[in-house]
């Protein structure tokens, strides 16, 4: 273990007399010798969670300036404000993409990574108008789907499902462009803020509404169609995890549900495996479903119990 560039452990401040020098030395041995888990064995700059929080604030302000930016913007100032938010936010994004690419790209030289980060950031920026268009359909779905909603502003400012889907649309775009680590970081920020856990690779159609939202889980290979509504504590998860010959899990295979257009899934329902929920179906609360159902199905807990009792 090379300690040539390490300050003397004896110089550590140990005001409580706890013997910290021995603890620090033991942690270094674990970190550098016995349990070294660094990616490719090197210390690298990690993406910053704090920077990603700031990025999301700038992007939200650019997408919906008067709700997440300034309430007193005018026709003369709004475009300048949006441009300023984008300029600041995308500068943050380019640096965070560069850092994240060390963990997801075969490139290791700094110049090519910077070039790739600039390309991803530019492509992401040009997708933002389309992302906003889809988000407006989600917001309208929430307004029309919830009788308690009094205004679009209430949905933007007060609905955790709206926050989660805004973050997901942004994270999904980054995931598709080749920045999966940053996408996962955004998804985790959304999860921490809302209690809604959506993998950034999940494909979700327009007019998507999560009502209440706490405890919703949407897995990596989930596909959701148009005009789908989920309630709290719904899980779209995997039924089983196939293994490689060495016992490690097989990654990347389709293992989560396909939910077709115009489906409603009520609170507490659990849908597992690569099953298909046919168009226009209604899945009742607390249903545990591991098989496909045809279009127009109405699946309730009572029906599931009845099926289980059949000889």
Sequence-distant (6+) residues with CB within 8 A of 106 are: none
Rounded CA-CA distance 266/234 in Å is 7
Rounded CA-CA distance 91/225 in Å is 33
Exposed / middle / buried, residue 57 (Cβ in 10 Å: 0-12, 13-18, 19+) = middle
Q: Which residue has the tokens 């290791």?
A: 108
Rounded CA-CA distance 56/217 in Å is 21
CB 156 within 8 A of CB 63: no
pLDDT digits (tens, 9 = 90+) for 194-204: 999 999 999 99
How far are the Cα atoms of 17, 138, 157 from residue 169, in angstroms, in the given order? 51, 10, 17
Rounded CA-CA distance 26/68 in Å is 47
* Domains along the chain with CATH numbers: 48-196 (1.10.3130.10), 215-311 (2.160.10.10)
DSSP state of 293: B
Tens-level pLDDT at each residue, the chain (311 residues): 444 455 565 566 777 778 888 888 898 888 888 877 665 556 578 999 999 999 999 999 999 999 999 889 999 999 999 999 999 999 999 999 999 998 877 766 789 999 999 999 999 999 999 999 999 999 999 999 999 999 999 999 999 999 999 999 999 999 999 999 999 999 999 999 999 999 999 999 999 999 999 999 999 999 999 999 999 999 999 998 788 888 888 888 999 999 999 999 999 999 999 999 999 999 999 999 999 999 999 999 877 655 655 55
pLDDT digits (tens, 9 = 90+) for 9-56: 556 677 777 888 888 889 888 888 887 766 555 657 899 999 999 999
DSSP state of 211: S
The widest CA-to-CA distance across the chain, in whole angstroms, is 76
Contacts 24+ apart (CB under 8 A), 200-203: 200/168, 200/171, 200/172, 200/174, 200/175, 201/172, 201/175, 202/168, 202/172, 202/256, 203/172
Rounded CA-CA distance 246/122 in Å is 41
Helices within 9-48 (DSSP H only): 20-29
């Amino acid at each position: 273990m090379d300690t040539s560039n390490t300050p003397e452990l004896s110089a550590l401040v140990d005001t409580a007399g706890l013997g910290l020098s021995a603890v620090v030395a033991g942690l270094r041995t674990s970190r550098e010798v016995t349990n070294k888990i660094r990616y490719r064995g090197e210390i690298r700059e990690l993406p910053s969670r704090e920077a990603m929080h700031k990025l999301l604030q700038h992007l939200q302000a650019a997408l919906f300036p008067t709700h997440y930016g300034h309430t007193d913007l005018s026709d003369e100032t709004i475009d300048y404000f949006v441009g300023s938010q984008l300029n600041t936010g995308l500068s943050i994004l380019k640096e965070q993409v560069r850092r994240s690419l060390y963990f997801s790209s075969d490139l290791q030289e700094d110049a090519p990574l910077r070039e790739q980060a600039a390309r991803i950031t530019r492509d992401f920026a040009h997708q933002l108008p389309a992302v906003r268009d889809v988000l407006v359909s989600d917001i309208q779905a929430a307004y029309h789907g919830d009788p308690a909603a009094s205004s679009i502003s209430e949905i933007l400012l007060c609905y955790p499902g709206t926050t989660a889907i805004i973050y997901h649309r942004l994270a999904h775009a980054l995931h598709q462009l080749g920045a999966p680590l940053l996408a996962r970081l955004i998804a985790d920020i959304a999860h921490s803020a809302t209690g809604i856990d959506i993998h950034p690779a999940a494909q979700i159609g327009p007019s998507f509404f999560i009502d209440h939202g706490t405890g919703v889980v949407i897995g990596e290979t989930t596909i959701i169609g148009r005009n789908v509504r989920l309630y709290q504590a719904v899980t779209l998860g995997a039924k089983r995890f196939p293994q490689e010959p060495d016992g490690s899990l097989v990654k990347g295979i389709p293992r989560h549900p396909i939910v077709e257009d115009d489906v409603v899934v009520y609170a507490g329902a659990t849908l597992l495996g690569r099953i298909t929920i046919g168009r226009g179906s209604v899945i009742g609360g607390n249903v545990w479903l591991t098989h496909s159902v045809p279009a127009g199905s109405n699946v309730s807990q009572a029906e599931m119990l009845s099926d289980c009792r059949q000889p």
